[in-house]
C-alpha cells in the first residue's frame, strides 16, 4: 500500500496537487473558486464512477460486510463534497450573477479486463483508495492555499 501513497500508482483525470502559488495569487477570487469547483467536480465524478463500480462488484460477488458499506461510505463522502461544491458555487454566483453550476456529464467506463475476479477486486479497491487519498491531499492543499491567501490579504 505504501507505494500507492507515494504516488507510484496514479489514476488519470485526477486534479493536480501542485500549484504555482505566485501564479495562483495573480488569479481573481472568482477564477480561484472556479478552479476549485472544477477540481472538486472531477473528484465527485471519479467517486461516482467508483461507487457504481463497487455496487456492480457487490452484485456479482458473494455479499460481504465491507462490500455493502464501502459504496455507502463513498456516497456519504460525495454528499459532503457536493455540499462544499454548492458553497463554492454560491460564492461564485455572488461574484458573477451570470454563472451557473455545470451539470456533470462525465461517464467513465470500467475497462474490460481478463484478470481473475480477486485481482480485479483488489485493483478496484486500490483505485478507490487512490481516489480518496488524492481527494484528502487536494482538500488539505486547497484549505492551506486559501488560508495563505486570507493571511496575505489581511496584511
CA 23 to chain centre: 23
* Predicted TM-score of the model (pTM): 0.75
Which sign, positive or negative, has the C-alpha torsion 86, 140, 71, 104? positive
Which residues, including other chains, have CB under 8 Å from residue 55's CB and lie 6 or more apart?
71
To the nearest 10°, report the CA torsion of 81, 84, 85, 88: -160
Q: CA–CA separation, 155 vs 153, rounded Å?
A: 6
Q: CA 130 to CA 128: how far, in whole Å? A: 5
The per-residue pLDDT for 12 is 77
Digit-by-digit pLDDT tens for the chain (155 residues) are 444 444 445 677 899 888 888 888 899 888 999 999 999 999 999 999 999 988 887 766 655 544 557 888 899 999 999 999 999 888 888 888 777 777 665 555 445 555 567 787 788 888 889 999 999 999 999 898 888 877 876 76
**What is the per-residue pLDDT for 7?**
45
Assign 96 to helix, strand or coil.
Answer: coil
Amino acid at each position: 500500500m505504501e507505494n500507492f501513497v507515494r504516488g507510484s500508482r496514479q489514476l488519470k483525470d485526477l486534479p493536480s496537487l501542485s500549484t504555482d502559488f505566485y501564479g495562483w495569487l495573480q488569479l481573481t477570487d472568482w477564477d480561484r473558486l472556479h478552479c476549485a469547483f472544477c477540481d472538486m467536480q472531477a473528484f465527485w465524478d471519479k467517486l461516482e464512477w467508483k461507487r457504481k463500480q463497487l455496487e456492480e462488484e457487490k452484485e456479482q460477488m458473494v455479499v460481504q460486510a465491507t462490500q455493502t458499506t464501502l459504496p455507502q461510505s463513498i456516497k456519504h463522502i460525495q454528499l459532503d463534497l457536493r455540499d462544499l461544491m454548492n458553497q463554492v458555487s454560491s460564492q461564485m454566483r455572488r461574484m458573477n450573477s451570470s454563472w451557473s453550476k455545470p451539470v456533470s456529464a462525465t461517464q467513465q467506463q470500467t475497462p474490460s479486463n481478463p484478470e481473475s475476479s480477486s485481482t480485479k477486486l483488489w485493483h478496484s479497491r486500490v483505485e478507490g483508495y487512490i481516489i480518496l487519498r488524492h481527494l484528502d491531499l487536494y482538500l488539505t492543499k486547497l484549505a492551506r492555499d486559501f488560508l495563505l491567501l486570507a493571511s496575505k490579504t489581511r496584511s
